[in-house]
Amino acid sequence: MGRTMLMKILLTNFHEGDGGGHTTYLLALARGLAAAHEVHLAVPATSRLYRDAATLDGVRVVAQPFPNAIAQLAAAARARRQLRDYLRTHAFDIVHVNGSTDHRMVLSACGGLARKPRIVLTKHNSKPAQGVTHRWRARRTDLVIAVCDATRRMLETGPYARCQLRTVRNGIDVHHYLPWSDEAARAIRERWSGEGRLLLGSNAGTAEHKGWMDLIEAVATLPAVQRARVDILLCGQPPLPEQTQRIEALGLATQVHFAGLLSDVRPVVAAIDVGFVLSYAVETISFACRETMAMAKPVLVSDYAGLPENIDDGVDGWRVPVRDREAIAVAVADMLEHPDRLRTMGHAARRKAEREFGLDRFIVATEDAYAALLPSIATAAA
């Protein structure tokens, strides 16, 4: 459908602090929609999203708390009144929520409004959406956006099956994540790995469910000659003491490196030969995987949730069964034995990113999903 007539849109998010992928998603969505629509963003004042969104042209950002604890009942009542007043004042066409906490408060705040907005929920994780509270929310929700087909299939088996369901895969700024020159990448790489070695890296964080310890355990099983040629680089929180002890026990302490929490992951991605996202919980489509591919790096992924939807196995990456350390080791051995293939696979990854991962595709698909809920707008735009 492409561009539609003007819509009034409120985006919400409950996260305080960083917010992770939700922050990436909503910044891109707000920026893209603001070119043609009136966009508001209601988020906690303590969030990175609040701070970063304040710099976006044409986006109105309001400090909106979403208290959720039992001990915060009074604060939650005040926040709900504040949100109801905002909804009444602005008469939004669409309110797009992004988690259980803001979803519940938005639905509650809509009670008593003479003109109710259409409610859109994006399902950002693979956690089950079952139970009484989900059934209550589903009856009051118009559209659920799944960020991958795996999530959509899960939603089709639960209470949200009654809603309109659409798959809209997350988009990334493929121009921001351009491949670096060999010279620039080599200068960064020298900090963590040497000539003739394989540097595997992840910008997906160091939460346990990301599966990075499975990779380390798998590398430890390789023959000594191969194991000695592998280095591993991770972005995110420092490892836990027990994880450090395990790495040392495996004899890989000098080969596993932690870059820390980075505001810009591109230097790390530029330095690596191959990316990996080996999640076994919570994951959906993975911004990290898509960013890595955009920078012309093939990616090793687990066959979990939406991760395999990014990869053509053997063309722009590898897919392995969830937590299958033997299969991971086989894939790493293949990389070591055929290093000449890595650059070709990286070029294929970049071509796919240009073809399928761009922000324009993401924004238009989301915009069309909204417009389908508003017959007068959808008809005028047809």
Domains of the chain: 8-171+358-381 (3.40.50.2000), 182-356 (3.40.50.2000)
**Across 356-379, average pLDDT:** 90
> What is the reported pLDDT for 375?
84
Rounded-to-integer distance, Cα 218 and Cα 155, Å: 33
Q: What is the pLDDT of residues 200-239, one digit of tens each?
A: 999 999 999 999 999 999 999 999 999 999 999 999 999 9
For the cut 70, the answer to whether the pLDDT of residue 241 exceeds it is yes
**Across 136-163, average pLDDT:** 97
Q: What dihedral do alpha carbons 207, 212, 217, 222 form, nearest 10°?
A: -170
Q: What is the pLDDT of residues 203-214, one digit of tens each?
A: 999 999 999 999
Long-range contacts, 254-261 (Cβ 8 Å, 24+): 255/219, 255/230, 255/231, 256/216, 256/231, 256/232, 257/192, 257/231, 257/232, 257/233, 258/206, 258/233, 258/234, 259/233, 259/234, 259/235, 260/235, 260/236, 261/235, 261/236, 261/237
94-97 sheet: strands from edge to edge: 59-63, 38-43, 8-12, 94-97, 118-123, 143-146, 164-167
For residue 379, name the pLDDT band (cuts at 50, 70, 90): very low
Q: What is the pLDDT of residues 247-286, one digit of tens each?
A: 999 999 999 999 999 999 999 999 999 999 999 999 999 9
> Residue 269 corresponds to which tokens in the numbers above?
């991605």
Contact yes or no for 193/232 (Cβ under 8 A)? no
Contact yes or no for 331/221 (Cβ under 8 A)? no
Q: CB-side exposure of 160: number of CA atoms within 13 Å?
A: 26
Taking each helix axis from N to C end, the angle separating 325-337 and 212-220, rounded to the nearest 10 degrees, works out to 70
Q: What is the pLDDT of residues 73-82, one digit of tens each?
A: 999 999 999 9
Instruction: Count CB neighbours of 68 within 10 A.
Output: 16
Contact yes or no for 125/22 (Cβ under 8 A)? no
Q: CB-side exposure of 351: number of CA atoms within 13 Å?
A: 10
Rounded-to-integer distance, Cα 11 and Cα 215, Å: 37
